Amino acid sequence: MKLTESIIELESRVQSLLSEIREIKMHVYALEEQNEKLSSKLFNGRPEQKGQQKLKELYEEGSHICPFYFAKIREEGEDCLFCLAFLKER
Ligand SMILES: [Zn+2]
């Protein structure tokens, strides 16, 4: 294979790699947008109050909101001391 041919092949590989990177970049961008929206929904609405209310709702629906077990399902009818402490300190 001539050197020119291998360089052309290399060029086309680099180009397809670049377009893959571009796709991934857009995907990450979309995820970051979504992540920002979700966390502002959860924590900012009307600063503490709304976030606090939302967390309380999540807890009452049966999810952990403490950093230890976050988003895991609570044992039915059992309070989690970490969750309660977490709600209190906010
Ligand atoms: Zn908990």
Mean pLDDT of 34-44: 78
Domains of the chain, by residue range, sit at 1-43, 45-90
Specify the pLDDT at position 45. 55
Using the mean position of ligand 1's atoms as its centre, give its distance from the Cα of residue 84 in Å.
7
Using the mean position of ligand 1's atoms as its centre, give its distance from the Cα of residue 37 in Å.
24
| Residue pLDDT, tens place only, 1-29 | 799 999 999 999 999 999 999 888 888 88
The mean pLDDT value of the chain amounts to: 84
Give 73's strand partners: 63
Query: Of 14 and 88, which is predicted with more confidence?
Result: 14
Q: Whole-model pTM?
A: 0.43
Residue 53: count other Cβ atoms within 10 Å of its Cβ: 12
CA angle 14/19/24 to nearest 5° reads 125
Place of tokens 């990450």: 28
Specify the pLDDT at position 6. 95
Which residues, chain by chain, have CB under 5 Å from ion ligand 1? Answer: 64, 66, 69, 80, 82-83
